[in-house]
Structure 1
Amino acid sequence: MPKISQKGNSMPASPIRKLVPYAEEAEKKGKHIYYLNIGQPDIKTPDVVFEAIRDIDIDVIAYSRSEGSEAYRKKISEYYKKNDISVEANDIVVTTGGSEALLFAFGSIMDAGDEIIIPEPFYANYNGFSTASGVKVVPVISKIENNFALPPVEEFEKLISPNTKAILICNPGNPTGYLYSKEEVEKLAAMVKKHDLFLIADEVYREFAYDGATHHSILKEPGLEEHAIVIDSVSKRYSMCGARIGYLVSKNKQLIQTALKFAQARLSPPTLAQIASEAALDTPQSYFDEVISDYVNRRNTLISELEKIDGVTVAKPNGAFYCIAQLPVKNSDDFAQWLLESFDVDGETIMVAPAAGFYSSPGVGLNQIRIAYVLKEESLLKAVNILKQALKAYKD
């Protein structure tokens, strides 16, 4: 029998999606499930997007340019300039989701055996992208006790080796919701310049900053032009996860030209989705004001209710729409599966994402879960009550 590749065998399963078969089986049995496991917002996609789709007047759905249509990239650069970030259209490569932008970035700056330092917990697919690229993730642990703040620079510098090519952050963070301060971004900028590394920032949740906090893009940092690579996406900003449009942004011309070769190899990003995404850039600020208010209320409700449960520790997020909760259980994988297979409250249960999959250090995060507060407050209240009752009934 032909053998699967070592790389294929090493690819990690998604901690977010691997429990789907259990959820499907639970639904077949008539259970209602509150999905807290995945960052799929229930927020309505802006009307301007659907208007653009309805008004499409083309005879052929043709390839676009490999780097994305010029009209769309120009409009993206205008979006950045509105956010006081000076970026031109030729600094942008449009991709099939932020995921492809990350793959292009990894492929452009790292060879097999190279290393990338990432504060953990981190977006689980960073492990998958690294494995696919033959790159080694070197984790630096941030802790729930200090809200998952940036670890000290000294902890990063201990890990830098001749094979280190980049540091990767998600800001605001998935799965923690942590929003890096200006001082933290400046420390990272100084470090990558000192050690001549790339700094990759996944900024797909940029709009979602709460409590008067401000998002600080690495593209604003002076002297970082050759080092900074930003990953961006329409998925969460405009509630367009299924459009699969993202982009890679950098002022490093050699990096962009290299990424373009990867883009040419896959021909082009989706044409129709680019039209919809270009229209999304006309979304009025009132849309974001309403969405942010909604998420703040959901976050406050969720955190307040979780803090009332004995034995639960939760970090308070200042951005995105996730939080990490530490539970009085030994293994959250087993607990999450048990919730779907064996537990319900009046025919209802919850689906959560076990947090161990958001770490690359073995044995870390086993008693943690990630919760995406993408449901309405009423549903969140019911979901937390189910969690509370489940923790009373569960036996390790």
Structure 2
Amino acid sequence: MIRPASRLAALKPSPIRALSEGAGPDAIPLGLGEPTWALPEPGRKALAAFQGICAYGPTVGFPELRKAIAARHDAMPDEVLVTTGSEEALFSLLHAWVEPGDAILMSDPGFVAYQSIATLAGAEAITYPLDAAHRFRLDAEALIEKLDAPRLKAVILNHPCNPTGGGADAVSLRRVAEACEARGLLLISDEVYKELHLTTPQPSLRDVSRYGVVTSSMSKGWGGPGLRVGWMVGDPAWLAPARTVHAFAVTTAALPSQRAALALLEASDSVLAEARAFLRERWTALSSALKTHLNMDAAPPDGAFYHWMPLPPFAHADPMAFCLRLRDEAKVVLVPGIVFGEGGRAFARLSFAASPDQLSEGVRRLAPFWERG
């Protein structure tokens, strides 16, 4: 019998989805990282109004959308490639630039898809730390120390970070960009959560440097994960090889979704203001519940809709088993931080995109399990 490709052996099904999909109907879902609000009205209207031939369209994305994305990133349209979500942007970039046996540097803890994409490209994933001493924000010095690793080809930043919510300041971004440029490394800045700040706006890599490639998408701030529209922005010389991979992998992003994305971008001021207000309301509910039921004082994340929640010490030995208990007994789904890397062993990711009532009730259900040894 024919066997699957050997490179798949190192890949495992997403533990995040396994946790969520195994939950009962009465479980409170605080696990999956996606907006829970409706697609904003401009996007809905654009989809409803779509008529005529549903063609492929240009491989790089249709011109009006590329122009709108370029305007948000202080770029030219030829510096934009529209993709099928930001993960496809990462997939195309890494498969275009990385050889089997090369290394890719990413954060620990960090978004689980980075390592999987590296594995599919035949690369080794190596990590730089994000730690509590720096509030899980980018530590430029710790990252730069790793840049002389053998066969290092690419560096991935994610700020604000999934799963920690930690950001990156402009000085750190500039230092990392300068260090990567000096070594000729591909620098990718995943900024999909940049627009979802609760207090202070977050910088972009492009605010401090034109070196590297920025990726983002409609999935978070604009509330359209199902549109599957993302993009990469950077020097056309970086994008051209990725365009080849993109063309053979997906041909182009879906045209109706691109039309909706354009409408959402054109209404960004109101769409993003509503998203931030939505999250501030939910953060208020969550922080109040944490104080009431667990006597925890929690600082808001720099961005995204995640609370990086400390686990009780007795759970550190087997965080996955503890979170399975929470799912099955407390009826609350959290994601153990260990799935994002060893640096997350003492934490769980809690998504506060849920309703205020769900957040309050979820924390109330968790409280007894924090008290048990």
TM-score (norm 1): 0.87
Q: Paired residue for 1:256, among 202, 214, 239?
A: 239
Aligned partner of 1:40 in structure 2 is 34
| Alpha-carbon distance in structure 2 between the residues aligned to 1:388 and 1:295 | 23
Contact 2:140 2:176 in 1 (8 A): no
Counterpart residue identity of residue 62, structure 1: A
Change (3 A) 1:311 1:55: closer
Counterpart residue identity of residue 337, structure 2: A
Counterpart residue identity of residue 222, structure 2: Y
Is 1:272 aligned to 2:248, yes or no? Answer: no
Two-structure CA RMSD over aligned residues (Å): 2.1
| Alpha-carbon distance in structure 1 between the residues aligned to 2:298 and 2:94 | 32
- Quote how far apart the aligned CAs of 1:4 are: 3.0
Change (3 A) 1:239 1:152: closer
Change (3 A) 1:192 1:155: closer
Is 1:17 aligned to 2:1, yes or no? Answer: no
SS at match of 1:19: helix
Q: Name whichever of 289-298 and 114-123 sits farther off.
A: 289-298
Contact 2:84 2:253 in 1 (8 A): yes
SS at match of 2:168: coil
Q: Paired residue for 2:138, among 150, 153, 166?
A: 150
- Quote how far apart the aligned CAs of 1:237 are: 1.7
Aligned partner of 1:120 in structure 2 is 108
- Quote how far apart the aligned CAs of 1:313 are: 8.7
Contact 1:373 1:380 in 2 (8 A): yes
Is 1:306 aligned to 2:290, yes or no? Answer: yes
Aligned ranges for residues 30-109 of structure 1 at < 5 Å? 32-58=26-52, 60-78=53-71, 80=72, 85-109=73-97
- Quote how far apart the aligned CAs of 1:326 are: 1.9
Change (3 A) 1:198 1:308: farther
Unaligned 5+ runs, structure 2: none
Contact 1:22 1:337 in 2 (8 A): no
Change (3 A) 1:376 1:206: same
The superposition leaves residues 259-292 of structure 1 with CA deviations (integer Å, 9 ceiling, x where unpaired) of 1111221322112211111111122523322321
Q: Name whichever of 197-206 and 153-162 sits farther off.
A: 153-162
- Quote how far apart the aligned CAs of 1:6 are: 2.6
Q: Paired residue for 1:340, among 295, 304, 327?
A: 327
Aligned partner of 1:368 in structure 2 is 347
Change (3 A) 1:10 1:314: farther
Change (3 A) 1:264 1:354: same
Is 1:352 aligned to 2:345, yes or no? Answer: no
- Quote how far apart the aligned CAs of 1:75 are: 2.1
Contact 1:356 1:366 in 2 (8 A): yes
Q: Paired residue for 1:230, among 187, 194, 214?
A: 214
Counterpart residue identity of residue 18, structure 2: K
TM-score (norm 2): 0.92
Aligned partner of 2:202 in structure 1 is 215
| Alpha-carbon distance in structure 1 between the residues aligned to 2:344 and 2:298 | 13
Change (3 A) 1:305 1:145: farther
Q: Paired residue for 2:270, among 286, 289, 293?
A: 286
Aligned residue pairs: how many?
Answer: 369
Q: Name whichever of 318-327 and 150-159 sits farther off.
A: 150-159
- Quote how far apart the aligned CAs of 1:41 are: 1.3
Structure with the higher helix share, 1 or 2: 2
